[in-house]
Amino acid sequence: MSESAQPIRRELRQLTRLAVPLAAAHFGQMLMGAVDTAVVGRAGEIALGAAGLGNAVYFTFGTLGVGIMLGLDPLVSQAIGADEPQRARRFMWQGVWLGLALAIPITGLVLAVVASLEIFGIESASAAQTQTYVLSRVLSLAPFFVFAGLRSYLQAVGKTSPMVWGVVIANAINLPLSWVLVFGDAGLQRVGLPAVGAPALGVAGAGWTSTVCTLVQLMVVVLAVRRVPAPVDDRRRKADAVLLRRTLRLGAPIGAQLCFEVGVFALVNVLMGQFGSRALAAHQIAITIASATFMIPLGIGAASSVRVGQAVGRQDQTGTRRAGFVGIGLGMAFMSLTATLFFLAPRLLARIFTDDPAVASAAVPLLLIAAVFQLSDGLQAVAAGALRGAGDTRPAMIANLVGHYGLGVPLAVLLAFGLGWQGPGLWWGLVIGLTVVGVWLAARFWRLTSKLVARA
């Protein structure tokens, strides 16, 4: 091994050690959502539609809150890199207070939206079921945000296994609890178990299950935080207006960035519906597969944020650049493998999700485009994480706004409706937008790390 390659290999090992559990935790969260959909789907189309709409509202506003909480990532990791454990612990506590505070207005917004569904043309039966679901789910917002804050601290100090254990335990209880709460005694009898007097809560049962699972994950990370020795600091638990403002300054652009990302995919989903149920089904298959593979670069991006932040805290310019570009290289390498799979076996992948040959055939061209999509999505996810670790959060917000809404969406509409490409046209628009965002962010990180990066 050449001497110059040793730091890169060492960085790759450390990055992978962080990224694997974080990616596994992200994948576990996605799995819980898939299980919830499978259970509620057996309660009827109104219940399934209500849970889907309720989740869309919940995660639209929840994403904003979690994005703001991600403002802690650079602050905590840079403090750890600078060997300032007291400061890192203080930021963790600011995350607790910020998460609880954010939950109040965001809960109000969620409730206001679901109370107004009929104004937007949603049928009364679906609106009522959606409200029932959200009322049971919205209670998880506060623990969800606090969990995000504690996760930032734990990953910065290298304790990532609690996030994995939390999602494993949550997945273990999710299916049986959801089944019992949704269907009650009838559900138990359907699987050969005796009745115990459990009421059938319907779609509300799925919401309560999600709330319980969120609380379980929070309890696991709380126990993990308590096992990390707290430095002597009588003020660490107190709310600090200066530190809270700093977190908000970094987190608000991340929240906006994530909302822009979620918004563009939601918009494409709506536009795809214009081409009929088969095109929409094909789109759902392709986006589900692409979302599953995206969990890996999402984990790599989170790990890169930590490694870059720690290097910035040490005031190590070479280490900062190395951490970011090793992460980008790892993310692109993985997504190259998945892109190859998408290119070589699109029909095989589609048939995993449908027995309808017409739907599978409609999904094939989308999965071929997704092969390109993989590279762009992986690049932007990891580059955004690297910039977040450096405390440079505004470029990702601006890039997503310009890349998607200034270029990607208009081109998608032109290709799909103007040139008649339909679904594939929408997907090429997504590819163009993601490519612009990814290249923009990677170039920004290159320029930013050409000199010593100041701490956030």
Question: Higher model confidence: residue 232 or residue 71?
Answer: 71
9-38: per-residue pLDDT in tens?
999 999 999 999 998 888 888 788 777 777
Task: Tell me the pTM.
Answer: 0.90
- Sign of the alpha-carbon torsion through 110, 113, 118, 120: negative
Tell me what pLDDT residue 335 has.
Answer: 94
Pairwise pLDDT comparison (394 vs 274), residue with the higher score: 394
Model confidence at 354: pLDDT above 70: yes
pLDDT of residue 329: 95
HEC assignment per residue over 288-345: HHHHHHHHHHHHHHHHHHHHHHHHHHCCCHHHHHHHHHHHHHHHHHHHHHHHHHHHHC
User: b/e map of 80-89 (b: 16 or more CB within 10 Å)?
Assistant: bbbebbebbb
Q: Can you give the three-state secondary structure of the chain, one letter per residue?
A: CCCCCHHHHHHHHHHHHHHHHHHHHHHHHHHHHHHHHHHHHCCCHHHHHHHHHHHHHHHHHHHHHHHHHCCHHHHHHHHHHCCCHHHHHHHHHHHHHHHHHHHHHHHHHHHHHHHCHHHHCCCHHHHHHHHHHHHHHHHHHHHHHHHHHHHHHHHHCCCCHHHHHHHHHHHHHHHHHHHHHHHCHHHHHHCCCCCCCCCCCCHHHHHHHHHHHHHHHHHHHHHHHHCCCCCCCCCCCCCCHHHHHHHHHHHHHHHHHHHHHHHHHHHHHHHHHHHCHHHHHHHHHHHHHHHHHHHHHHHHHHHHHHHHHHHHHCCCHHHHHHHHHHHHHHHHHHHHHHHHHHHHCHHHHHHCCCCCHHHHHHHHHHHHHHHHHHHHHHHHHHHHHHHHHCCCCHHHHHHHHHHHHHHHHHHHHHHHHHCCCCHHHHHHHHHHHHHHHHHHHHHHHHHHCCCCCCCC
Please state, in angstroms and rounded to a whole number, the distance separating the CA atoms of residues 388 and 393: 5
Top pLDDT among 166 and 55 is at 166
Q: Helices 45-69 and 203-226: crossing angle, nearest 10°?
A: 30
- Gap between the Cα atoms of 7 and 359, Å rounded: 48
Task: Kindly report, residue by residue over 301-353, the tens digit of the pLDDT.
Answer: 999 999 999 999 999 999 999 999 999 999 999 999 999 999 999 999 888 87
Q: What is the pLDDT of residue 266?
A: 82
pLDDT of residue 92: 96
Residue 364 has pLDDT above 80, yes or no: yes
Q: Answer whether residue 2 shows pLDDT above 70.
A: no
pLDDT at res. 26: 85
pLDDT range class, residue 4, cuts 50, 70, 90? low
What burial class does residue 245 get, using C-beta atoms within 10 Å of its C-beta: 0-12 exposed, 13-18 middle, 19+ buried? exposed
Mean pLDDT for 62-90 is: 95
- The answer to whether 68 touches 251, Cβ cutoff 8 Å, is yes
Positive or negative, the CA dihedral 372, 374, 375, 381 is positive
On whether the CB atoms of residues 319 and 308 are closer than 8 A, the answer is no
Cβ-contact 386, 301 below 8 angstroms: yes
- Two tokens, residue 166: 């939390």
pLDDT at 360 over 90: no
- How many other C-beta atoms can be found within 10 angstroms of the C-beta atom of residue 247? 28
pLDDT in tens, 269-283: 878 878 887 887 888
Q: pLDDT of 141-172, one tens digit each?
A: 999 999 999 999 999 999 999 999 999 999 99
Tell me: the pLDDT tens digits for 194-241? 888 888 888 889 899 999 999 999 999 999 999 999 888 788 889 999
pLDDT at position 120, please?
73
Q: Provide the b/e sequence for 433-455 (b: ≥16 CB within 10 Å).
A: bbbbbbbbbbebbeebbeeebee
Look at residue 3 in the predicted model and tell me its pLDDT: 56
pLDDT of 84: 95
Tens digit of each residue's pLDDT (9 = 90 or more) over 231-264: 887 888 899 999 999 999 999 999 999 999 988 9
Q: Encode pLDDT of 79-137 as tens digits.
A: 999 999 999 999 999 999 999 999 999 999 999 988 988 887 778 888 888 899 899 99
209 phi, psi to nearest 5 deg: -60, -45
Higher pLDDT, 189 or 161: 161
